[in-house]
Structure formats: structure tokens, C-alpha cells
Amino acid sequence: MEPMVVVRNLAKTYHNNGRAIQAVTNVSFEIGEREIFSLLGPNGAGKTTTISMISGLLAPTAGDATIGGHSITREPLAAKRLLGVVPQEIALYPSLTARQNLEFFGRIYGLSGAELARRVDEVLDFTDLRERQNDRVDTFSGGMKRRVNIGVGLIHKPRLIYMDEPTVGIDPQNRRRVLDTVLRLREEMGMTVLYTSHLMEEVQEISDRVAIMDHGEIIALGTVGELIQKVGEEDRLIFSVGQQTPPETLLAAFRGVAGVTGVAFERRETAGNNGEAVDGDGKLTVVAKRGRKALPDLLRLANEAGLNVLSVEVREPDLEAVFLQLTGRALRD
């Protein structure tokens, strides 16, 4: 069977003050019917640019893609008819009700009359919004807005739905609900899902296949199992070091320990008491074969370097470890 999506050598170059910036380089992949395919990568990796080209918002500098056999460059309208879009932001009209938003976008997708009314009802049922259908969207909670946002992408019953980081900024309960919705789209509606995220846990949970992107290129592609196999039986050891910053000499010493294949340090900003940005706790991540065996040596080296380790967490192999091994950086860097 012909794949639902075929991407061939897609590239996008921006020009800024005479300087060429390569946002996406030579990206190729295929997505089969009813497959959940995820693009995983840190912010700025090129995921959104790639998807924007596939959904016809950006003209590619080179290459092409087809959706259901229709080229996005030569038959953009036919390709777009098969595509539903769920953007990262809540792209709705807040002064309209949930039903009015669905009806409006339905009309823009060419639906009308009884067919439009039927589809709106189906989508309201699917997103569990029937009771609040006549309330303005600006009175909804963040999770409900997300559901309407997803509903608008489904209104014309697309064969392919693209969801751009749909769990950003919502609580764990609603996040769970969104992930369940993604799985239901495939199970109940037979849709193909193209999903982007920088959260490896959810990608790992829902995806059939994953493409890992960094600096505008796909650096790994396969099923979650295949990708994890790339790092073998390696564990991740995460050292919490509070406000301390380990010296480079210590990182080099860690790399010399038997079984260690990757070392990275990261410190994320958090909100202070008055809402201001403050430095959070530093985390030193080490990828190592038989991590538990390497742990005593690593703790000794840290102690010799004067680094006070507050806690150590040992994690089994996952996509985060794959990314760390492939790029030398943590996924959230």
C-alpha cells in the first residue's frame, strides 16, 4: 500500500541580511496509513519548519512531499483536503462558542448544511464538549480549549492529522486525556497521526515510529525499540548537584570511566518566589553500560573534585538516552 505521507529531500533556507540560514536540510521519511509517527527534537530542531512545509504554510526551498499521493507543491489544495491541523497554540476565536468555532472552520473546509451539523455533533461528542457547546471559548479551562483545538482539526474528517506539541502548558490530567485522544484517533477513526514533541516520555508512549531531529536534520529514525537498541543496554545516571557547577575536568574524568558513553550537564531556569526567573538545580547526566557498576567510581571522582552530590537517579534506556548519545546534549538543552 502507498504510504500516507512521503517526504523527499525537503529543505528550507531562510535569508537574513544576506546570510543563508539552513532551517531544514534534506529531510526524508514516509508515514504509513494509520501510523502514529512522531518527530522528536529540542526547540529549534526544525520540526515545526518541516511540518509547516508539509501542511503548505511554507514553500520548500528544495524537495517535495505528498499526502495521499498529492504533491504539496503541485496540488496543494488536494493535499490540504486530506490534512487536519492541530497547532501548538490555541488557534481559536475566543469570542465564539465551541460550536461556532467548529461550524466556522467546517465552512472553510467546504462543509455546509446537514453534513456540517452532523460533523460538528460528532466532533463535540468525540471531544466530550457537547454540554458546553454553546459557551464562549474564552470561558473554558486550558484543557477544554485544547479539546476544541483538536476538534477543529478533525472537523472535515481528515485522513492525516498533524498535532504540534498539543500537550504544552496543560496539567497532567488533561495531558493524559490528549494522549488518549491521539490513540483514539487511530483506533476509532482510522487516522494517520503526525505528532511533534520535545517530551520523550509521551513520544515513547504513543508512537509507532519516531524521527529524531536536531539542527534541521533527521539524525535517527525507527520504532522506539529500534532507537533504544542503538544505545544498547545503557542506563542513565542523573546526579543532582543543586546550585553547584561541575568543572570540565570532572566531566572529562567521568568520560574516562569504564562503560560511560555520554556525559552532559544542564541547569534549567525555574520561577522564584516573586515569579522571577532563577537558576534551578543542576543535573549531571551520565549514559553508561551497566550504570550501577560504574556508579561507585563516578561518586568517588565527584567527591575528589569537591562536588557535593545531593541525589542519584538510575534510569533504564529510553529515547532521552538515544538523543544524548547521538548529540552529546540533553533533549531539553
Q: Which of 27, 45, 80, 285 binds another protein (CB under 8 A)?
A: 80
Contact between 178 and 127 under an 8 Å Cβ cutoff? The reply is: no
**Residue number with CB closer to another protein (4 or 287):** 4
Please report whether residue 89 would count as binding another protein according to CB under 8 A: yes
Please report whether residue 87 would count as binding another protein according to CB under 8 A: yes
**Which listed range, 30-38, 80-88, 177-185, 260-268, lies at the site for another protein (CB under 8 A)?**
80-88
Buried b (16+ CB within 10 A) or exposed e, 15-32: eeeeeeeebbbebebbbe
Grid coordinates representing 259?
562503560
- Distance in angstroms (rounded) separating the CA atoms of residues 322 and 305: 28
Please report whether residue 95 would count as binding another protein according to CB under 8 A: yes
Q: Which of 20, 77, 114, 277 binds another protein (CB under 8 A)?
A: 77
Residues β-bridged to residue 311 = 240
Please report whether residue 96 would count as binding another protein according to CB under 8 A: yes
The minimum distance between CB 80 and another protein, in angstroms, equals 4
Q: Which of 110, 169, 272, 328 binds another protein (CB under 8 A)?
A: 110
Buried b (16+ CB within 10 A) or exposed e, 47-85: bbbbbbbbbbebebbebebbbbebebeeeeeebbbbbbb
Please report whether residue 112 would count as binding another protein according to CB under 8 A: yes
Please report whether residue 83 would count as binding another protein according to CB under 8 A: yes
Site for another protein, residues 126 to 165, rule: CB under 8 A: 152
Residues β-bridged to residue 212 = 40, 220
The 28-67 contact track toward another protein, x by CB under 8 A, reads: ------------------------x--xxxxx--------
Q: Which of 9, 21, 43, 91 binds another protein (CB under 8 A)?
A: 91
Contact between 70 and 56 under an 8 Å Cβ cutoff? The reply is: no
Please report whether residue 107 would count as binding another protein according to CB under 8 A: yes
Alpha carbon of 297 to those of 253, 262, 313: distances in Å? 10, 15, 15
Q: Which of 37, 105, 140, 195 binds another protein (CB under 8 A)?
A: 105
Helix (H) or strand (E) holding 66: strand 62-67
- Distance in angstroms (rounded) separating the CA atoms of residues 35 and 214: 23
185: left (phi over 0), alpha (psi -120 to 50) or beta: alpha
Q: Which of 6, 34, 44, 78 binds another protein (CB under 8 A)?
A: 78
157: left (phi over 0), alpha (psi -120 to 50) or beta: left
Please report whether residue 170 would count as binding another protein according to CB under 8 A: no
Grid coordinates representing 101?
468555532
The minimum distance between CB 57 and another protein, in angstroms, equals 5
Helix (H) or strand (E) holding 315: strand 311-315
| Binding residues with another protein: total (CB under 8 A) | 30
Q: Which residues form the interface with another protein (CB under 8 A)? A: 52, 55-59, 77-78, 80-81, 83, 85, 87-93, 95-96, 100, 104-105, 107-110, 112, 152
